[in-house]
Amino acid sequence: AFVNIRGLSQIRNVDPTVAVVIDGVLSTTSLSFSQDLFDVQQIEVLKGPQGALYGRNATGGAVNITTKQPTTDPEIYVRGGLGNGDLVQFSGVASGPIGGDNVLGRVVVGYKDADGWRDNVATDVKADPYEDLTVAGKLLWELGERTTLDLRLTVSQTESTGSQFVSNAPTFVNGIPGA
The Cβ of residue 107 has, within 10 Å, a number of other Cβ atoms equal to 16
The Cβ of residue 62 has, within 10 Å, a number of other Cβ atoms equal to 24
Task: State phi, psi for 68 to the nearest 5 degrees.
Answer: -70, 150
Identify the pLDDT of residue 173. Answer: 45
- Write out pLDDT tens, residues 47-84: 878 877 877 777 778 888 899 999 999 999 999 999 98
The secondary structure of residue 43, as a DSSP letter, is E
Q: In what order do the strands lie in the sheet with 40-47?
A: 25-27, 18-22, 61-67, 40-47
> What is the b/e burial string over 45-57, where b = at least 16 CB atoms within 10 angstroms of the residue's CB?
ebeebbeeebeeb
The total number of residues shown for the chain amounts to 179
Identify the pLDDT of residue 137. Answer: 94
- Write out pLDDT tens, residues 10-37: 666 667 778 888 888 887 766 666 677 7
* Res. 176: pLDDT tops 60: no
